[in-house]
Amino acid sequence: MKKELEDRLVKFSVMTLNLSRLADKSFFNNYLINQLLRSSASAALNYGEAQSAESKRDFIHKVGIVLKELRESHVNLKILAESKIINNSTELNIALDESNQLVSIFYKTIQTAKQRK
């Protein structure tokens, strides 16, 4: 399961990179796209850190950062969709669905880890 989640996070990060190539270049677009790229990549990178957590508390903290970055990515994707910055709605909808699923998975992961603490 850990490997599957890591793979999904990496694919999600690549998905946002591919989406970024579809946006017109302007100050606002670049701001949102750059932030999306940072938050989606951060989720994947921090999940890697969570795998080597030193304690249950450390794991919960690091997975909490993953969740925070995924939520940021999800809201950013919603802004991109509403503002029509990215015209390929199919790709954008796939990314929105994946971010929503990942948020749900990591929310549940934190809840389960807290119960087992």
pLDDT exceeds cutoff 90 at 89: no
* CATH level 2 (architecture), domain 2-116: Up-down Bundle (1.20)
pTM more than 0.85: yes
Write the DSSP assignment of 12-61 as a string of letters: HHHHHHHHHTTS---HHHHHHHHHHHHHHHHHHHHHHHHTT-SSHHHHHH
The vertex-45 CA angle with 42 and 46, nearest 5°, equals 80
Q: Which strand (E) or helix (H) includes residue 104?
A: helix 89-116
Q: Which strand (E) or helix (H) includes residue 6?
A: helix 2-20
Q: pLDDT tens-digit profile of 24-81? A: 889 999 999 999 999 999 999 999 999 999 999 999 999 999 999 999 999 999 999 9
Q: pLDDT tens-digit profile of 14-39? A: 999 999 999 988 999 999 999 999 99
